[in-house]
Structure 1
Amino acid sequence: MPIELNKEARAEAIKSIERYFQENMEERIGNIAAGALLGFFVEEIGPAIYNQAVADVQERLQARISEIDIEVHEDEFQYWRKYDAQRRSRK
């Protein structure tokens, strides 16, 4: 599954790269070069970040799924226990 940024996110990322170069590299990078650099990072490094995010989500979901039985568990065959407890409390 290719990783793609929507138009707004891509524009913001390009602006951020341009600013980074201006403030940290003491040189300017043009819009086209910043877009190319962004494309490289998204294609080269993006999948590693994406795969880690998917693994993190899987881990969290599995933890939640393992807790479902605790959250939605109902004790079985409780009628007579309740009935007997009510009878004892009336005496």
Structure 2
Amino acid sequence: MQPIKFSNEERKEIVARIQTYFHEELEHQIGDIPAELLLNFFTDEIGAHYYNRGLYDAQAVLSKQLDQFTDAVYGLEQRPKQR
């Protein structure tokens, strides 16, 4: 698996959300560097769990779609005429 990477714009948005969370929920101010370090921790240590969950969810959707497709193909099957 390749490392999870965010664009600079995404990182700025996530850092801002971390800072907002700390301020609103914990009544604590957190600077850019601590928020970046927290983002790095979650990305490196926990991100794979979320990534894998997304893959499992996508696989389940794809499997369901494939079952429907298979059923549709069988529905097109023609039977030979009986003599």
2:7 aligned partner: 6
Structure 1: distance between partners of 2:63 and 2:16: 38
CA displacement at 1:43 relative to structure 2: 0.9
1:49 aligned partner: 50
- 1:10-56 deviations in whole A, cap 9, x for unaligned? 11000011111111222211001101101101111110000011011
The alignment's TM-score, normalised by the length of structure 1, stands at 0.76
SS at match of 2:76: coil
Aligned residue pair count: 80
Gaps of 5+ in 1: 81-91
Gaps of 5+ in 2: none
Give the CA RMSD over aligned residues.
1.8
Question: Where in structure 1 do 4 or more consecutive aligned residues deviate above 3 Å?
Answer: none
Q: Which has the larger radius of gyration?
A: 1
Identity of counterpart residues, as a percentage?
34
1:74 aligned partner: 76
CA displacement at 1:71 relative to structure 2: 2.7
Structure 2: distance between partners of 1:51 and 1:69: 26
The alignment's TM-score, normalised by the length of structure 2, stands at 0.83
CA displacement at 1:77 relative to structure 2: 5.2
